[in-house]
Structure 1
Amino acid sequence: MSFSDSLLHHSATELAALIQQRKFTSTAIVSFYLARIEALNPSVNALVQVCADTALADAWAVDRAIAQGEYGGVLQGVPFTVKDVFDTRGVVSAAGLVDRAHYCPQHDAVAVTRMKAAGAILLGKSNCPPGGGGGVTDNPVYGATRNPHALSHGPGGSSGGEAAAVAAGLSPLGLGSDSGGSLRIPAHFCGVSTLKPTTGRVPNTGVFDHPGGLSDSRSQIGPMARHVEDLDLVFRVIAGEDGHDCGVIPMPLPDMPPQALNGLRVAWYSEGGIEPIDTCTQVTLQVAADLLAGAGAVVRQAFPSALRNARDITERYWAMGKGSGAQAIQLLSDWDQFRSAMLGFMADYDIILCPVDAAPAPLLGTARPGLFSHTLPYSLAGWPCVVVRAGTADSGLPVGVQIVARAWHEHLALGAAMAIERALPFAR
């Protein structure tokens, strides 16, 4: 295996260990990814800002510190990228908007600050739709991002640039945001892994159009990576109160993801009246369900009927500013009833295995009707979700599955995703 092949094969978790063991230098790793960006980004258009000079300077400083026996955080020397809605000190943060095309923040978003405090090195910023919301990653400032698996197809949105960057090997890991599927849809379309943590886990402070608190109670930021173990590592770095986002709940971090799934109660469904899915997605879900059962989980087909109400609640939420106070109160009551019904369903299960979308990635510039139908409900519930690749369509496009756990139980969804990843070679 060549040096470059080795770097792409290793997870960010492994890279951090190898840097500290002085088997790889941070400078070599950062230089490798910068070379890939120069070669591949023009065709994919995943990254809209590249911090080459500062990244190399930071990498050199890491190598010098390690040579002197000074060891930093758990991501020391590992490069990362972030969606362009995250404020980044001294780096343009346009969020795909013309009126922000030259906006250069004076401070980092809290999650970026925490990544840097853990030793990670900012490599660049990834493309997004205007304002950071929507299912197609294209904007008047930077143009469209393409899917690395097929340049004629899109990466989804709204964290489509981040998913494309990770899938193309332009970055080992990154941060995105999700209000209804904006991490999960692109991860599925691009064949990478992502975690949308429990709502209230990670501060949204410094993320454009994500004020946090009650007015932003569907949104959550989270990691993307090619390896599930990196999701867990980054999650533990960025989670926790910041003294500003009042929506963050002071909950302890969960246990580490379980290595064994014996007795884990899994509900799975492929149909249920939300949005019909194609054959390859049905087959992929069946394969994933069988893998979990083979790993010791107790797997049953079951569908939470409350999911059929999620689209209506979401559409009323979007229109809440145009309605009356009575309509807003009724919406909040219906939302509470939805959450209660979902909790009742989960009394018998630990996780849910379900579709991410109805099919693999669509053609560039298009979004299927019903996009987000399979992801929106779990944003309303506020529950953690992991997406991991579990199949391949006849077209060669990747197919992911969504694994959902109750609030504050990220470790269970991550453990199941790790089991699927271990069993399927292309998942790594």
Structure 2
Amino acid sequence: MSHTQDAGPAPAERACVADPATPGAAQLARAIAAGETTVLAVMQAHLARIAKTEPLIHAFAHRDDDAALEAAQAADDALARGEPTGPLHGAPVSIKDWIEAEGLPCDGGFEARAGFRPRRDATVVSRLRAAGAIVLGKTVTREGEPLHARPNNPHDLAHCPGGSSSGEAAAIAAGASPLGLGSDSGGSIRLPAAWSGVLGLKPTQGRVPLTGHFPAIGHLSDPRTVIGPLARRAEDLALALRVIAGPDGVDPSAHPVPLGDPAAVSIAGLRIGLTDLGGADLTPAAWTATQDLARRLEGLGAVVAPLDLPLIDEALAISNAYWARPESMSHRQWRPWGPSTLPADAVEESLFRWERLQRRLETVMADWDVLLCPAAPGPAPAHRLLDARDYLYTLPFSLTAQPVVSLPAGRAGSLPLGAQLVGRRWREDVLLALAMALERA
């Protein structure tokens, strides 16, 4: 894969504005609770960081800085009165602009939605606020959308940050937000996390309610899409998941399955299958970074062994058939994006193949606790519209409903490389335990 351009930006325009060392959301909430800082000071610092980075990375679609400062002062006042606080009290968060947040527009980058303001929060946003988090703003969704400036990769502004949680990953990588929410259908959390050098969690499908997501997600018509967190720290993924998980009485796809505790997971002896998923276009750098991560996991006591698991071609064929089917833009009435390009028999065959793939992975996971594989064929390309080939390594696990953590694995020059830890369904605790142990090591 080539990452060159005929005429690249001037050196100043390619400057790295990534800031991986700034505190995470849980760390900030602990410092606020201990009286080491104030919510207002934390908010002011993040707004100053946004003012510095936003002209370069264009991560945010909508903000209301005055409202954020008012909420920060109110949070400090609540602390002064001794009121009970949540686990994210005072921590700033950002929200992908496909997830509704009261008080801010939610156009999702669609011209037909320009100016739309939701009357209520999505369930996940409401739960973050109830835990004490304060919304910084809504983040740009993808390269080439018509309403907002193109988001740039904080590690090299001439390159993509990934999509469609594009601005979310960019804001977190730049230190402009410590924690955010994205959504993932075929890799839209995991690819931006990998290319931007942060962590992203795709929960088990059904773990987190999708109420308030646009485009509307039907649990039968779209059994792939999930909402999940992105962050610079694994503990923030775990904390955010505890806050947003669980049924809301509206989304029938959300199941009341208890969350496991990462602290209770013993890493010693975990069986991890290392696989390239049969990808023919995997760059040597991406595979080397994944192998290096495997060695680090072995150093933690896990048992890593190679696994021949060619999934890419099969998953791409199923995904292409899925994309050829129409979906409704509304839950209340049939408003499809466009006509189906598949006859009925082809739809049924694609569902048959999809279920067969799920059964196959259930059998595979009987022998493994975790799979380790690349998150992308290589590092982020120079700016262009993304296509299915960019998501070859994330697509399979959207079809199998498995939880996945995308995490940094290495670098190719200035650009991050990411890998995926794939778990058994409902075992996010195992993946988060591994991610946190890697950070500690």
Shorter-chain TM range is over 0.9
**In structure 1, what is the equivalent of residue 362 of structure 2?**
343
Matched with 2:14 is none
Alignment of 1:64 onto 2:70: no
Alpha-carbon distance between aligned partners in 2 of 1:250 and 1:311, rounded to the nearest angstrom: 31
Residue 231 of structure 1 corresponds to 237
Paired with 2:227 and 2:175, the residues of 1 have a C-alpha distance of: 21
- Residue 216 of structure 1 aligns with an amino acid whose one-letter code is D
Distance 1:205 1:275 in 2: 38
Which segment drifts farther, 27-36 or 411-420?
Answer: 411-420
Alignment-derived partner of residue 433 in structure 2: 415
- Counterpart of 1:375 (choices 377, 394, 410) is 394
Give the structure 2 partner of residue 317 of structure 1.
322
| Selected match of 1:294 from 277, 291, 299 | 299
Q: Distance in 1 between matches of 2:156 and 2:20?
A: 23
Kept in 2, the 8 Å contact 1:75–1:119? The answer is: yes
User: 8 Å contact 2:93–2:135 — kept in the other structure?
Assistant: yes
1:283 corresponds to: 288
**Structure 2 counterpart of 1:401, one-letter code:** A
Deviation at 1:326, TM superposition (A): 2.7
Alpha-carbon offset, residue 45 of structure 1 = 0.2
CA distance in 2, matches of 1:334, 1:409: 25
Alignment partner of 2:166 out of 141, 154, 160: 160
Aligned ranges 1:3-402 → 2 under 5 Å: 9-129=22-142, 137-258=143-264, 260-270=266-276, 272-320=277-325, 321-367=340-386, 370-393=389-412, 395-402=413-420
Give the alignment's Cα RMSD to 1 decimal: 1.6
User: How many residue pairs get matched?
Assistant: 409
How far apart are 1:256 and its partner, in Å?
2.4
Q: Secondary structure, in 3 states, of the residue corresponding to 2:389?
A: coil
Structure 1 residue 328 displacement after superposition: 2.2
- Contact 1:275/1:373 (<8 A) preserved: no
Q: Which amino acid aligns with 2:249?
A: G
Query: Percent identity, aligned pairs only?
Result: 42
User: How far is the alpha carbon of 1:276 from its aligned partner?
Assistant: 2.3
Shift of 1:163: 0.2
Conserved in 2, the CA contact under 8 Å of 1:304 and 1:342? no
2:391 is paired with a residue whose SS is coil
Q: 1:387, 1:417 within 8 Å by CA — same for their partners in 2?
A: no
Indicate if the aligned counterparts of 1:192 and 1:224 stay in contact, CA closer than 8 A.
yes
Q: Structure 2 unaligned runs (5+)? A: 1-18, 326-339
Three-state SS of the structure 2 residue aligned to 1:214 is coil
Residue type of the partner of 2:424?
Answer: R
For 1:150 and 1:339, how far apart are their aligned partners in 2?
Answer: 38
Residues 149, 397 of structure 1: 8 Å contact kept? yes
- What secondary structure sits across from 1:248 in the alignment? coil
Deviation at 1:258, TM superposition (A): 4.9
| Offset from partner CA, 1:189-248 (integer Å, 9 cap, x none) | 100001000001111111101323111200001000010110000011001101111111
Contact 2:182 2:229 in 1 (8 A): yes
Partner of 2:262, secondary structure, is: coil
- Any idea what the Cα deviations from partners look like across 1:46-91, whole Å, max 9, x if unmatched? 0111221111111111111111211311101111000011111121
Q: Deviations over 1:121-153 (max 9, x none)?
A: 011110013xxxxxxx23111120000100111
Runs (5+) with no aligned partner, structure 1: 1-5, 130-136, 424-428
TM-score normalised by the chain length of structure 2 = 0.90
Query: For structure 1, which segment, 250-259 or 330-339, has the greater mean C-alpha deviation from structure 2 after superposition?
Result: 250-259
